[in-house]
């Protein structure tokens, strides 16, 4: 069995703010400190959204903040940086497209890429998160030009087919890396049976990771690593260390998954080992 790549999604994505937990990092300094703690705990990738300092709500102008995070993280550790293309969508379509094109040149090694449109999975489930195929193709082109590797986010099983179709057309270069985002509700159920089906549909040779929400984060992470996959943890997916108890740091969640891996005799990959496994060029 290969080594385990752990991603820490430290910034809480869209819904997680100081209103939900006082421990979510918000300022650039807090986000960088939290990233370093996760790296020290065993994470080899950090996934970033831009946060409004003080509140933790999505930043209205994300790119300058993301660039600052990246520069500050590079000064502190060698973790792989993965920047969202999903969060903070408050711009009109043309403005958003230019924002993503610009975002591909901030200095990260990876960026997330949602593989389709999906109904909102956040209560009260209003609206639709849009990612049409032409948008995916265009943004994949921006990433290729910038030397950024896309992490293909799979929210339902039809998105696996979309990823295969686009890979066959050369939109994505080999080797492809996908992440099964097991949100339940409007997407993939966080169950071993659902994961096994996803793996049956996945092409041979593609690397893969799992993230699951809330109380499913650690159990599904454990299942994934026993099947040869990788794992994402962090406040974007789960803010609790145990039932009713808020985690005080993303690093606590990384430490938990490292403990599980050690119990299963699975080695945790360093950032450079993860780079080799994913075919990344170090920035």
Residue 135 sits at the vertex; the CA angle it makes with 50 and 165, to the nearest 5 degrees, is 120
Number of residues assigned to the chain: 283
Q: Is residue 283 part of a domain?
A: no
pLDDT per position as a tens digit, 142-184: 999 999 999 999 999 999 999 999 999 999 998 999 999 999 8
Residue 204 maps to which CATH number? 3.20.20.70
**Helices and strands of the chain, counted as H and E runs:** 9, 12
Q: How far apart are CA 53 and CA 51, in angstroms?
A: 6
Please report whether residue 269 resides in a domain: yes
Three-state SS at 123: coil
Q: What is the pTM (predicted TM-score) of this model? A: 0.95
Q: Give residue 53's domain range.
A: 6-278
Span 10-20, pLDDT tens digits: 998 888 999 99
Let me know if residue 103 belongs to a domain: yes
What average pLDDT score do residues 100-122 get? 91
Would you say residue 172 lies in a domain? yes
Into how many domains does the chain fold?
1
118 has pLDDT over 90? no
Q: Could you tell me if residue 1 is inside a domain?
A: no
Q: What percent of the chain has a predicted confidence (pLDDT) above 90?
A: 84
Query: Is 131 part of a structural domain of the chain?
Result: yes
In a domain, 260, yes or no: yes
Token pair of 154 as six digits? 């799979």
16 falls within a domain: yes
Bridge partners for 240 per DSSP: 246
């Amino acid at each position: 069995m290969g080594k385990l790549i752990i991603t820490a999604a430290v910034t809480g994505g869209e819904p997680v703010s100081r209103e939900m937990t006082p421990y979510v990092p918000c300022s650039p300094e807090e986000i960088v400190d939290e990233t370093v703690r996760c790296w020290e705990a065993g994470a080899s990738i950090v996934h970033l959204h831009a946060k409004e300092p003080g509140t933790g709500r999505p930043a209205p102008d994300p790119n300058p903040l993301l660039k600052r995070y990246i520069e500050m993280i590079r000064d502190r550790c060698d973790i792989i940086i993965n920047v969202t293309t999903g969060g903070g969508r408050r711009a009109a379509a043309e403005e958003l497209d230019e924002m993503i094109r610009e975002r591909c040149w901030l200095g990260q090694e990876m960026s997330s890429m949602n593989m389709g449109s999906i109904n909102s999975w956040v209560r009260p489930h209003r609206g639709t998160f849009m990612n049409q195929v032409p948008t995916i193709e265009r943004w994949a082109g921006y990433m290729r030009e910038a030397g950024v590797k896309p992490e293909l986010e799979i929210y339902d099983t039809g998105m696996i087919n979309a990823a295969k179709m686009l890979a066959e057309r050369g939109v994505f270069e080999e080797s492809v890396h996908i992440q099964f985002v097991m949100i339940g509700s409007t997407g993939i159920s966080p169950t071993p049976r659902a994961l096994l089906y996803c793996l049956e549909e996945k092409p041979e040779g593609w690397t893969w990771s799992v993230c699951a929400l809330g109380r499913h984060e650690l159990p599904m992470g454990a299942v994934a690593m026993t099947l040869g996959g990788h794992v994402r943890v962090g406040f974007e997916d789960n803010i609790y260390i145990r039932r009713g108890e808020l985690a005080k740091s993303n690093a606590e969640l990384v430490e938990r998954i490292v403990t599980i891996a050690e119990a299963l005799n699975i080695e945790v990959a360093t950032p450079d080992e993860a780079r080799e496994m994913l075919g990344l060029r170090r920035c």
